[in-house]
Copies of this chain bind each other. A is one copy, B any other.
């Protein structure tokens, strides 16, 4: 492979580090970029620098932000009474896309995962309790993934909050996904859909 220019080999290696990207796809990216105008490659490089230089975490909710406080926490139209607790900033993004939530968030920075060495102390649970203790919060929505780590984390936080306060604690609904098929749904999903049934 010494016949391949080093800058190309290096960029292939860099793209190869992105999640789910194998060396073939990485090569395709590089040869695609080589066919683009220089401005296109510059735009990608500039966006990367900008990400590195400008993104920090919101001091209130710990989601990604350009300033000390994120656009959601700073928006006067968002209710500070409801806090939706999520694992990662990308979960905030997913909920924001739905356009159905008008409260604020709290990003834990992960989930309890003893197998990978993440305990409750490494998450921003203390910061959540502090926000709750400062008053004004009426509801905490636990919105972690419906897997073992997510459920464990939600249960842990629910317990901590119940010990401390009398605010409402809810969990996002489990059930059949849109476009789902009862026939092929797994038992747990179907059981959740049944037990979480709603009046129409």
Which bucket holds chain A's interface residue count?
A: 35 or more
Instruction: Pick from B1, B10, B11: contact of A97, CB below 8 A.
Output: B1
For A20, the chain B residues whose CB sits under 8 A away are 25, 28
Alpha-carbon gap, A18 to B6, bound state (A) = 21
Residues of A within 8 A of B (CB): 1-8, 10-11, 14-15, 17-20, 25, 27-34, 38, 40-45, 47-52, 54-55, 64-66, 70-72, 75, 88-90, 92-93, 96-97
Since A11-B44, A41-B48 are in contact, a sample of 15 more A-B pairs with Cβ atoms closer than 8 Å, ordered by chain A residue number, is A3-B70, A3-B71, A5-B55, A5-B66, A5-B70, A7-B54, A8-B64, A30-B51, A31-B89, A34-B55, A34-B89, A41-B52, A42-B52, A44-B48, A48-B48
